[in-house]
Amino acid sequence: MAKALEDRILEERSRLRVTTEELSSRIKASPYGPKSKEYLKRWIQVESTGEVGFALWS
């Protein structure tokens, strides 16, 4: 039996949510240099983590 559309939408939206801790660990593991990492750390401090760029960045 197929899932209801509402259930699928809720699942997909939950996968797009990202926490500050998850973003910090992604920054730490990234191949970028120290200056870029500092910019990224600042970015997650001042911007909403609901931003599309954060959801798509893996």
Residue ranges making up the domain that contains 31: 20-58
Q: What is the mean pLDDT of residues 40-56?
A: 82
Count the alpha carbons within 13 Å of 3 in the hemisphere toward its beta carbon.
8
- What pLDDT sits at residue 57? 66
Three-class SS of 1-58:
CCCCHHHHHHHHHHHHCCCHHHHHHHHHHCCCCHHHHHHHHHHHHHCCCCCHHHHHCC
1 in a structural domain: no
Instruction: Report yes or no on 15 lying in a domain.
Output: no
Number of compact structural domains in the chain: 1
With beta carbons less than 8 A apart as the criterion, state whether 24 and 38 touch.
no
| Structural domain includes residue 51 | yes
- State residue 50's pLDDT score: 76
Residue 48 lies in a domain: yes
pLDDT of residue 58: 61
pLDDT band at 17 (very low <50, low <70, confident <90, very high): confident
Model confidence at 1, in pLDDT bands (50, 70, 90)?
Answer: low
Classify residue 26: in a domain, yes or no.
yes
Whether residue 34 has pLDDT greater than 90: yes
